[in-house]
Chain A
Amino acid sequence: MVCFLATAFFWAVFPPYLLRRIVKQINFIGVKTTLVIVLTGTFTGMVLALQTYYALVKFGAETSLGPVLALSLIRELGPVLSALMVTGRAGSALTAEIGIMRISEQIDALDAMALNPYKYLVIPNLLAGIISIPLLNAIFVVVGVWGGYAVAVGLTGVSSGTYFGGIRDFVSAKDILVGLYKSLSFGMLITWISCYKGYFTGYGAEGVSKATTQAVVLSSVTILIWDYFMTSILLT
């Protein structure tokens, strides 16, 4: 797998750069996942606000709701949940698409035409993942904060000023960078695993089915494990 990634980055340096294909994949991985991200982000923010409020109110600390919610979303939930959403929606599709191309000899056809399959199938997806997932994470966090705002101000009675004032005071640039680094690495992990599993899929429909399942499971587990290591490194 490491060799696969190294080969992809090696070929990424050389032309042609296939910008149109990268844009197409950004549309597929990023733009078409936006609705899912908006929905999950909004409801994650809302439920987080509700749960956090009832926990904080026991200690009389409900004014901290805004920063607690924002920090949870920016540092953890935004990067992790947006990555998991992309894995489910786009990662599985990438593996299936590349896998079907493999079993129907379309990848061999590219190779036979003296065209590098990495350039057409792997590099555009890797770059699209690295570009799209941080942006989706940003959308997730923003709508999550607004979802939390709706619950906090609309249902629990926390004032608007307290909510946003707390966020402004406690959220630092470092917190945002932690989320950014995480989502950048998740973007690479998801597309790397998905492309690899599709590229080296087994035979027939069963092979593609297994590869797709493996890609989703491995991506999801890797995201959670990698998240722990990233957190432990970035917060020290």
Chain B
Amino acid sequence: MIEVVDLYKSFKNHEVLRGVNLKVEEGQTLALIGGSGKGKSVLLKLIIGLTKPDRGKILINNQDISKLRGKLLKQLKERCGFVFQGGALFDSLTVFDNVAFPLREKTRMKESQILDTALSELARVGLSGAENKYPSEISGGMKKRVALARCLVMKPEIVLFDEPTTGLDPLTGKAIHKLIRDCQKSLHFTAIMVTHEIPAIFPLVDRVAMLYNGKIIASGTPAEIETSQDPVIHQFVHGELEGPISIQ
């Protein structure tokens, strides 16, 4: 279970998060929506411990990640996975080596086992045959799949997705969403997904939370969010230009 309690984070006097409260139950997938540049990715990076909050708590299975150091933080991170917006693939490594990287660095598996595990993970994301290509030689959709395979190869309990379908055509985006959902069903991880695919993402997630003005202003089932009468949520979800949200 992930619980964020009264979380604040600012960069150079610019307060990005102003008291975020959020709860994700074990095995659930939560879609985190909100305007661009409003702190969604920052929130994900805080949850996985890539950056420290100014104040507040981030509880992962009742352990506050913002207070952990050294070995305890490492152990907690090992149970989490992060799929970055651009994939963050190691560009000097092949697709196979990218997926095998965490296995080589974090486990004592033999090379033959690593080969089998990485290839089966690539097969799961539909990338059999692309293992010898470099990230620069594959499409955006394939990069997202490799990033997903690299993340899932370590069987994380929690996976954070930062806009996993940004920059992809609608069909590829839909395929990635379905892939994430299928992986979630088979691996039973808890997931938070930052996304702008509204309302396409709604059938694929358990809950939706909206970040606005540095706070979670609503959290509920996709149906509740979609039918919300709150003017901010209504304007954002339906993509209306007129309303309380000013377009910058």
Complex interface: stretch among B26-34, B86-94, B220-228: B86-94
Residues of B within 8 A of A109 (CB): 82, 84, 88-90
A108 and B91 contact, Cβ closer than 8 Å, known pairs A113-B77, A114-B106, A115-B105: no
Q: Is B175 an interface residue (CB 8 A)?
A: no
A106 adjacent to B48 (CB under 8 Å): no
CB distance from B119 to the nearest CB of A (A): 20
CA gap between A108 and B101 in the complex, in Å? 15
Closest to A113 in B: B102
Which residues from 61 to 100 on chain A have a C-beta closer than 8 Å to any C-beta of chain B? 100
Please state if A108 and B105 are interface contacts (CB–CB under 8 Å).
no
If A112-B77, A113-B102, A115-B105 touch, whether A106 touches B90 (CB-CB below 8 Å) is: yes
B88 touches A106 (CB 8 A): yes
Contact A113/B84 with A104-B91, A106-B91, A108-B50 known, Cβ cut-off 8 Å: no
- Chain A 192-207, CB-CB to B under 8 Å as 1, else 0, gives 0000000000000000
B residues in contact with A100, CB < 8 Å: 91
> B80–A112 contact, CB under 8 A?
yes
Determine whether B39 belongs to the interface, using a CB cutoff of 8 Å to chain A.
no
How many chain A residues sit at the interface, stated as a range, is 10 to 19
Contact A105 B106 (CB under 8 A): no
Within 8 Å of chain A (Cβ to Cβ): is B78?
A: yes
User: Residue of B at shortest CB range from A120?
Assistant: B105
| CB closest residue in chain A, given B78 | A114
In the assembled complex, how far is the CB of residue A172 from the closest CB belonging to chain B, in whole angstroms?
45
Given contacts A105-B88, A106-B88, A109-B84, contact A115 B48 (CB under 8 A): no
> Chain A interface (Cβ within 8 Å of chain B)?
100, 104-106, 108-109, 111-115
A-B contact pairs, 23 of them (CB 8 A): A104-B91, A105-B86, A105-B88, A106-B90, A106-B91, A108-B50, A108-B82, A109-B84, A109-B89, A109-B90, A111-B77, A112-B48, A112-B50, A112-B77, A112-B84, A113-B77, A113-B102, A114-B73, A114-B74, A114-B78, A114-B106, A115-B102, A115-B105
